[in-house]
Structure 1
Amino acid sequence: MKRMKKLVVLMGIIATLIIAGCSSNSSGGDGKDKDGKVTLTAWAWNVNVGALNEAIKTYEKENPDVKLKVEDIGRLDVYDKLSTGLAAGGVGLPDIVLVEDDRIHGYVEAFPDGFVNLSEKGFKDHEDKFPSFKNDLAQVDGDYYAMPFDAGPSGMFYRRSIFEEAGVKAEDIETWDDFLEAGKTIKDKTGVAAMPLDMFKDDPTFRMMLNQQGAFYFDEKGNIDLTNPKAVKAMEIQKEFADADLIKNVDGWNGTVSATADGSVATIPFGAWYYGTIVDQAKDTSGDWGVFPLPAIEEGGNRAANLGGGGWMIPASSKNADAAYKFMEFFSTDTDTQIMAMEDYGLFPSLNTAYDSEVFTEGVEFFGGQEIWSLFADEMKDIPTAYYTKDYSLALDEAIKAQADMFNGAKADKALEDAAKRLKDRTKRDINN
């Protein structure tokens, strides 16, 4: 009987601790230590950690009662820990967490009470400071649940020396058909492939082609959109490059980086963030790089697309939600802070006012003096919204399978139709016909 009583008491203590850990103080005051200071915790990874740590130094000058502890726990580890904590009602979560754009809606859909509604804190007042696609990705049902941060306006990073040897001019490439012919010339004259792609395990080029056409895996209503003629066209374009032996089939990220450094590809179609990788991994190629916009699907078509980017979210379980909001509001909307994040860490800003900075009109020596940042900035207003939904990871898996099937000989429309059917079975979503 005594053991039973002890067990009951112990279970009561555990329940109390869980309830205390799960309680949300997002609308009230912030927890302060005995010295009257608030220590915020944040989860992030890679260069984002450095950007946060630099920003808090500036913020502390006007707000000496706020400290920040950033935990660099790796991108996938962040999501594992975040999902586990949300499933447990918020236990063990930080005050601030970085979430990529393709996951924001999914988290809010899966855990509708898991994050602070930032519009209720006043972030709606900043709506005109960001491009429309970033607002769409940060909002759910018209309310902000994330503060827009970095973006990935896309472009074609290219080797000037390879283009010159082949007699190809980047400014003459306006469509994917133009690039196909240029790629053939480059291959014939230099033996170099047009671009890299992990043909059977990733589909970044397909995603950019979809996005520039205003399409994606899902439509605005959340229906599966892989059978859209725009998706078929994007797949068929890639097949034309493969048939002409213009794609270097690489092994994942490391394979792309190796091809970048060794000059075995003439271009790398990627987001603006790839600038940092080129500068870091191909140091001896300074001055030999340039950027031109993503080719249009058809003459006069849109050349703007996004690949990558994220925003900052505040878990509803935070006991320091007010202080977290104020710091992240500063981080997200302060021009100097966003310029610092770009110049020091290669994080392209979503903040419109940042584009008025002198850095966007300065030539970049590594890129032959080209004003690459203004090229990317000009693109931001024309980027359509991609609709990810909570089933994005499943759709990505099926799109990659469709791409692999196509490269293995299946027709693009049949490969995408089969992928859409499989995705319907996995998600119970309708197919947009």
Structure 2
Amino acid sequence: MKKNLLYASSLVALVSLSACGGSGSSGTSDDQTLTAWAWNINIPVLEEAAAQFKEDHPDFELEIIEVGTPDVYQRITTGLQANGEGLPDIMLVEDDRVQGYLSNFKDAFLDISEYDFEENHNDKFPSFKTELLNVDGGVYGFPFDAGPAGVFYRTDLFEEAGIYADEIETWDDFIEAGHTLRDELDVALTGIDISNDDGVYRMMLNQQGTFYFDDNEEVALASDESIKAMEVIQRLHQEGLNENLVGWDAWLSGLANGQVATAPTGAWLTGSLTEQAPDLEGQWGVFPLPAMEAGGNRASNLGGSNYMISAQTANPELAYEFMEYFSTSDDVQLTAMENGLFPSLNTIYDNDVFTSPIGYFGDQAIWELFSSMMEDIPSVNYTGNYSIARDETETAQSDAANGADVTDVMTRAEQQLQNRMN
């Protein structure tokens, strides 16, 4: 998840990481204590879930260790390389990291298909989440939050400039609206960090049913879909519609002070906007991500995470039972919602919270909009080379934004990525 104010857990000061390993250090199978690694806004959700679970399991205890990113991945990788030594029973892993771990350390994670999770619960989650965790017939984690994407926009600025959000159907329409904003108000349309964040490019890949890699794990940076997506980024920047806001804080500030009028991104931005710009209540709205062409798919995802259990846990049955409860309990997932996380559990989408108007967003029912997209989001093949692929695309994005030929840039990026993978 993007940066949020850290939720301080007093447990961090009391429990050292060396005492929370899942390879037997969390106790015998008779011990009803589990350990979990997670970060910031995920922690209160785990705490609430543990309290609820404890009502029917009075001896149950969950020790939560706050480990932020990227430290958590360094520690997980170290533990996996040591055959699970030092890992907790339960660990939070973001979507883009899962396939890398499973391609190299699949047996280090508990296969929950042995507990019939897929048979009992698969239809409760969108396919782009379940397919991520399914390898060779096994299931290696529990879907948690997701990042269905849309365009957050300043309704007051659009109105002043004479722009109608419901008339924006394609990225061409979006760019045209950007010119109107510049001409009428001298306000930027987007605040993409050109050299360090390719999130908008990734969303465009995802909505076209592709990614850095195709379904066969072949590099696809020079594909037609990739070139089309990068051409949009180039136009936004070259045509003076993008304000190059470097870093998370600058981006949020640009949205809060009116320097930038829109943010194509995941649903998780909601909490940050309401927190950072409370005085703009009633002046924000959300519309679906533009399609690459008229009638094209407008559903995409950016962000999301899952919980995985170490195969070395001393109590796999308890770990499974707790995480099954966590991931499929409506009450727990509504708690996640309250803490700024968008649940992938579809059984809660008919809850009043999803259909209720949100005052900050001009009484728009934005959660209903996001939930309606979930089943249309294509699956993503991150592979184990996600990190180096992103490194290459961010370099390519910078070159394209500065005017280089997009086809040449993406062909070179594809070749360089293939070289790094060999």
Correspondence 1:18-57 to 2 at 5 A: 31-33=29-31, 38-57=32-51
Contact 1:22–1:89, Cα closer than 8 Å, also in 2: no
| The one of 67, 92, 101 aligned to 1:98 | 92
Instruction: For 1:349, give the aligned amino acid.
Output: P
The aligned counterpart of 1:226 is: 221
| Cα separation, 2, equivalents of 1:257 and 1:313 | 31
Correspondence 1:17-416 to 2 at 5 A: 31-33=29-31, 38-125=32-119, 126-343=121-338, 345-416=339-410
SS for the counterpart of 2:353 is helix
Per-residue CA shift, 1:315-367, capped at 9, x if unaligned? 11111221111111001011121112102x11101011011111111000111
Cα drift, residue 422 of structure 1? 0.6
Structure 1 residues 220 and 24: CA distance shift in structure 2, 3 A: farther
Deviates more, 1:204-213 or 1:314-323: 314-323
SS for the counterpart of 2:196 is coil
Instruction: For 1:397, give the aligned amino acid.
Output: D
| The one of 400, 405, 417 aligned to 1:423 | 417
SS for the counterpart of 1:41 is strand
SS for the counterpart of 1:171 is helix
Aligned residues: 401
Per-residue CA shift, 1:1-35, capped at 9, x if unaligned? xxxxxxxxxxxxxxxxxxxx896899xx96234xx
SS for the counterpart of 1:356 is coil
Per-residue CA shift, 1:240-267, capped at 9, x if unaligned? 1112100010112112111111111110
Contact 1:44–1:75, Cα closer than 8 Å, also in 2: no
Per-residue CA shift, 1:364-400, capped at 9, x if unaligned? 0111100000000000010001110011001000111
Cα drift, residue 112 of structure 1? 2.3
Larger Rg: 1
Instruction: For 1:145, give the aligned amino acid.
Output: Y
Instruction: For 2:158, give the aligned amino acid.
Output: F
| Cα separation, 2, equivalents of 1:412 and 1:32 | 60
Contact 1:124–1:143, Cα closer than 8 Å, also in 2: no
SS for the counterpart of 1:249 is coil
Q: Which runs of 5 or more structure 2 residues have no equivalent in the other structure? A: 1-20
| Cα separation, 2, equivalents of 1:146 and 1:426 | 29
| Cα separation, 2, equivalents of 1:60 and 1:282 | 38
The aligned counterpart of 2:6 is: none
| Cα separation, 2, equivalents of 1:117 and 1:389 | 19
The aligned counterpart of 1:4 is: none
| Cα separation, 2, equivalents of 1:356 and 1:107 | 34
Per-residue CA shift, 1:49-87, capped at 9, x if unaligned? 111011111111111121111111112111111111111
Instruction: For 1:285, give the aligned amino acid.
Output: L
Instruction: For 2:146, give the aligned amino acid.
Output: A
SS for the counterpart of 1:183 is helix
Cα drift, residue 409 of structure 1? 2.2
| Cα separation, 2, equivalents of 1:163 and 1:30 | 61
Instruction: For 1:83, give the aligned amino acid.
Output: T
Contact 2:205–2:229, Cα closer than 8 Å, also in 1: yes
Contact 2:299–2:373, Cα closer than 8 Å, also in 1: yes
Instruction: For 1:293, give the aligned amino acid.
Output: P
Contact 1:32–1:39, Cα closer than 8 Å, also in 2: no
Contact 1:150–1:310, Cα closer than 8 Å, also in 2: yes
Contact 1:116–1:315, Cα closer than 8 Å, also in 2: yes
Contact 1:134–1:148, Cα closer than 8 Å, also in 2: yes
Deviates more, 1:402-411 or 1:207-216: 402-411
**How much is the aligned-residue C-alpha RMSD, in angstroms?**
1.6
SS for the counterpart of 2:314 is coil
Q: Which runs of 5 or more structure 1 residues have no equivalent in the other structure? A: 1-20, 429-433
Per-residue CA shift, 1:129-149, capped at 9, x if unaligned? 111111111212232111000
Instruction: For 2:220, give the aligned amino acid.
Output: D
SS for the counterpart of 2:390 is helix
Q: TM-score, normalised by structure 1?
A: 0.90
| Cα separation, 1, equivalents of 2:207 and 2:22 | 42
| Cα separation, 1, equivalents of 2:403 and 2:187 | 24
| Cα separation, 1, equivalents of 2:135 and 2:404 | 38
Cα drift, residue 101 of structure 1? 0.7
